[in-house]
Amino acid sequence: MDKPDYAKAVSFIYNEVQDLYGVGVKASYIPALKSVDSKQFAMTLVDDQKNIYSVGDDKVNFSIQSVTKVFTLCMALNEVGEEIWGRMDREPSGKSFDSLIRLEEHHGVPSNPFLNSGAIVIADILLEFYGKHVIDRYLSFLRTVTGNKKISIDKTIFLSEKVTGHKNYAFARYMKSFGNIINDIDDVLDVYFSFCSVSLNNIDLAKAFYFLMNKGESLDGTRITSHRHCKRINSLMFTCGTYDEVGDFAYLVGLPAKSGVSGAIGGCLPGHYSVSVWSPELNIKGNSVLGYKALELLTTIIDKSYLS
């Protein structure tokens, strides 16, 4: 089969989604996210030959938010392995990312590592493992997978999350009461907020997902993780990666992907391409309106003859 014309696909999609501005709203519970210009969209695809196809506002930096949870999970699997599943499950929660209900029902055990509660446990695990080097190690991981040595934390976002992250403190305290958080709550939350506050652009994000489509090897040939871990992370993204809309997302898009409240979504089609989209306006479930549509179009039109 001929290779799809990805260049044509992304520029077609760029035009198609332009009418969707104003349908969604930006996340406002983290005040710093409100000041981002709403009318922005970027889409980047990296194919299996390492060609990069990119359109829109792809050089504008944004905070990674929950997409970070893919990479922190990968680090925890690399360093600690399957033991992490003693502290969280691998099931979609059927609730919003910041709901306390399931956590209470499950006695302080998060339903999956892509919920805030699950990612806070991962932050605790990585803090335990790396100690005071945890943030440096994380930045170094992201610099390797993106190939961008300048990846760093946006301090304004970090502080904005810290002063308004009351629910995240509630999750951590609640889990600590069951012994599912080991370290000091403030230290764990500082690590968690730092993970979410990493600043990058859409091209960085598509590159970062490359190892997940490429059996664990990044664009520059570094082994990031095993093929086995990639399979598992991709499965978790497919079942738990796009909030309480994951069933519809799987039905309409059909890719393993992780979204975040900054309007970013990263994903891949294993063996074929990694892809990222970014546009700040979100639907009611927390997924980027333009980004979601762009991915749905990508997997729908890619083999159609009008693109060849």
Where residue 38 falls (left for φ over 0; alpha for ψ -120 to 50; beta otherwise) is alpha
Tell me, by CB under 6 A, how many residues bind ligand GLU. 10
Q: Considering only residues 17, 121, 151, 261, which one is a binding residue for ligand GLU as defined by CB under 6 A?
A: 261
> From CA 6, how far away is CA 54, in angstroms rounded?
9
CA-closest candidate to residue 240, choices 118, 116, 92? 92
Binding to ligand GLU (CB under 6 A) within 40-69 occurs at: 65-66
Please report how close the Cβ of residue 261 comes to ligand GLU at its closest, in angstroms.
Answer: 4
Please report how close the Cβ of residue 97 comes to ligand GLU at its closest, in angstroms.
Answer: 5
Please report how close the Cβ of residue 192 comes to ligand GLU at its closest, in angstroms.
Answer: 7
Please provide the DSSP assignment of 138-163 as one string.
HHHHHHHHH--TT-EE-HHHHHHHHH
Q: Is residue 260 involved in binding ligand GLU (CB under 6 A)? A: yes
CB nearer to ligand GLU: pick between 132 and 166 = 166
CB nearer to ligand GLU: pick between 216 and 256 = 256
> From CA 187, how far away is CA 183, in angstroms rounded?
7
Q: Considering only residues 161, 190, 204, 296, which one is a binding residue for ligand GLU as defined by CB under 6 A?
A: 161
Please report how close the Cβ of residue 300 comes to ligand GLU at its closest, in angstroms.
Answer: 26
Q: Is residue 154 involved in binding ligand GLU (CB under 6 A)? A: no
CB nearer to ligand GLU: pick between 27 and 302 = 27
Binding to ligand GLU (CB under 6 A) within 89-128 occurs at: 97-98, 116
Please report how close the Cβ of residue 239 comes to ligand GLU at its closest, in angstroms.
Answer: 16
- Tell me if 297 sits within 8 A of 287, measured CB to CB: no
- Tell me if 61 sits within 8 A of 45, measured CB to CB: no
The backbone torsions φ and ψ at residue 222, rounded to the nearest 5 degrees and listed phi first, read -75, 135
CB nearer to ligand GLU: pick between 119 and 203 = 119
Q: Considering only residues 196, 208, 230, 253, which one is a binding residue for ligand GLU as defined by CB under 6 A?
A: 196
Strand order in the sheet with 273-278: 52-56, 42-47, 273-278, 264-269, 257-259
Six token digits for residue 305: 């003859």
> From CA 179, how far away is CA 109, in angstroms rounded?
10
Summarize as ranges the residues that interact with ligand GLU (CB under 6 A).
Answer: 65-66, 97-98, 116, 161, 168, 196, 260-261
